[in-house]
Amino acid sequence: MRALAWHGKHDVRVDTVDDPEIINPRDAIIKITATAICGSDLHLYDGYIPTMKAGDILGHEFMGEVVEVGAKSTLQRGQKVVVPFTIACGSCYHCGKHQYSACDNGNPADNQDIGRELYGQPMSGLFGYSHMTGGYAGGQAEYVRVPFSDVGPIVVPSDIEDEKVLFLSDILPTGWMAAENAQIEPGDTVAVWGCGPVGLFAVQSAFLLGAARVIAIDHFPHRLELAKKFGAETINFEESKTYEALMEMTGGIGPDAVIDAVGLEAHGFFVDNVIDQIKASMFLGTDRIHSIRQAILACRKGGRVSMPAVYGGFVDKFPLGAFMEKGLTLKTGQTHVQHYMPALLNAIVEGKIDTTFLISHTLPLEDAPKGYKMFHDNQNEVTKVVLKPDLALAAE
């Protein structure tokens, strides 16, 4: 089959590799019909994620058709499914509590050591995202092997467009969980830092969960426009002072809940920062911690902080004093995708949530390297790149 493989910094190629096969009884093989490039894939592209090996197949946002099933899979050939990026067993204590991204068993035993050292306990496996999260081949390919296929993939109506449901795999549940973690009360004002895909979905979700006002903060004009379309008020932090604006806009109280969705595109585990103690790298440096620091300072007293943005290591200058003195609550974590998929699928089918607006480019899988480059180079206009293995190459 053809698959997008990582070969090093800014070097991804579409290679011909062996087709995946059923290995364990609960496996299924999915023929990919659509897959997206996630912002976090750019960190692999930029060479910031350790434990990558040349030839690793990328991609953790994907969907397709079931073409083969193991003896204990509950899927049937021909079904159309969307696959969560988190690989969870459904049988362990954490899965029983619907904390799927904390699954004990989704990550192969030998690959759990790093998570244990770094975080105290290892987290679940992930598709196409380095060897410390399992070393699983991803879905930017013609086919993918999906472990625990009786738990993860959700069957979607066969006549629904891929574009409408593809983002159930990651960013839509991630945006929803961000809003849920903000514990929104009717009439609340919610501020969202970052209008990438997850931030934009968090804006939509916050309104659905009862927020009266949502204030979106970014510096890309196009992304702020998208937030505005969903009813958010906007702050462009290159043009306005964010804290001062928030205070003015909330009657001097501060937002009831704040969501840090900056860098949320990174499901990344920035181990390099931990191991090398490179505190000032662009990903863990001032800008990234800046958003959570600003969010904590702006948040009203007794308010709630939701942090879908990924932080992998240690941060300096975390305003612990403000956090304590103001009596804030912080909720965060990798998304428990499996928990959110069914309700969000319903919301999509019922027309309550639209995700198609996000897609700015659709390319054949063969053009994936071009997709990575354009997404990397132009984040204002390129909001989301979808890859389709069946799409013919455009005439040059």
Partner 1 sequence: MAADIDTVSARHDDAPVTTSKITHPDRALVAETVTINRPAQELYAFWRDPTNLLMVMDNIQAIAVIDDSRSRWTVKAPAGREVSWESVITKDVPGEEITWQSAPGADVANSGRITFQDAGGRGTVVRAVIAYDPPGGVIGQFIAKLFQREPRIQTRRDLRRFKQLMETGEIATAARTMQQFEEEEA
Only one of the segments 102-110, 197-205, 277-285, 303-311 lies at the binding site for partner 1 (rule: CB under 8 A); that segment is 102-110
Q: Does 145 bind partner 1 (CB under 8 A)?
A: yes
Closest to partner 1 by CB, 113 or 225 = 113
Smallest distance, Å, CB 119 to partner 1? 15
Q: Does 19 bind partner 1 (CB under 8 A)?
A: yes
Closest to partner 1 by CB, 121 or 380 = 121
Closest to partner 1 by CB, 20 or 303 = 20
310, 266 contact by CB (below 8 A): yes
Q: How far, in Å, CA of 166 to CA of 63, rounded?
A: 6
Smallest distance, Å, CB 183 to partner 1? 26
Nearest CA-CA partner of 95 in 337, 343, 342, 346: 337
Q: In a 3-state reduction of DSSP, which class is residue 226? A: helix
In 209-220, which positions are buried (b, 16+ CB within 10 angstroms) versus exposed (e)?
bebebbbbbbeb
Closest to partner 1 by CB, 93 or 314 = 93
Which residue carries 């699954």 as its tokens?
A: 103
Looking only at residues 65 through 84 of this chain, which bind partner 1 when binding is defined by CB under 8 A? Answer: 72
Residues facing residue 86 across a β-bridge: 126
Looking only at residues 26 through 65 of this chain, which bind partner 1 when binding is defined by CB under 8 A? Answer: 26, 57
100, 141 contact by CB (below 8 A): no
Closest to partner 1 by CB, 29 or 63 = 29
Closest to partner 1 by CB, 50 or 108 = 108
Smallest distance, Å, CB 92 to partner 1? 5
Which of 42, 67, 92, 278 binds partner 1 (CB under 8 A)? It is 92
Q: How far, in Å, CA of 396 to CA of 351, rounded?
A: 37
Q: Does 91 bind partner 1 (CB under 8 A)?
A: yes
Smallest distance, Å, CB 191 to partner 1? 39
Closest to partner 1 by CB, 72 or 352 = 72
How many residues belong to the chain?
396
Closest to partner 1 by CB, 17 or 155 = 17
Kindly write down the DSSP assignment for every residue of 116-164, as one continuous string.
Answer: HHHHSS---EEBTS-TTTT-B--SSBSEEEESSTTTS-EE--TTS-HHH
Q: Does 325 bind partner 1 (CB under 8 A)?
A: no
Q: Does 244 bind partner 1 (CB under 8 A)?
A: no
Smallest distance, Å, CB 383 to partner 1? 31
229-237 long-range contacts (CB < 8 A, ≥24 apart) are 229/357, 230/200, 230/203, 230/204, 231/203, 231/207, 232/192, 232/203
H helices present in the chain, as ranges: 39-45, 93-96, 113-119, 162-165, 171-181, 197-208, 221-229, 242-249, 271-276, 286-298, 320-325, 337-349, 368-377
Looking only at residues 106 through 135 of this chain, which bind partner 1 when binding is defined by CB under 8 A? Answer: 106-113, 116, 125, 131, 134-135
Which of 79, 105, 140, 335 binds partner 1 (CB under 8 A)? It is 105
Smallest distance, Å, CB 56 to partner 1? 10
- Residue 117, Cβ neighbours under 10 Å: how many? 12
- One-letter amino acid at 190 equals V
Looking only at residues 211 through 230 of this chain, which bind partner 1 when binding is defined by CB under 8 A? Answer: none
Q: How far, in Å, CA of 234 to CA of 225, rounded?
A: 8
Footprint of partner 1 on this chain (CB under 8 A)?
A: 17-21, 23-26, 57, 72, 87, 89-93, 96, 104-113, 116, 125, 131, 134-137, 145, 147-148
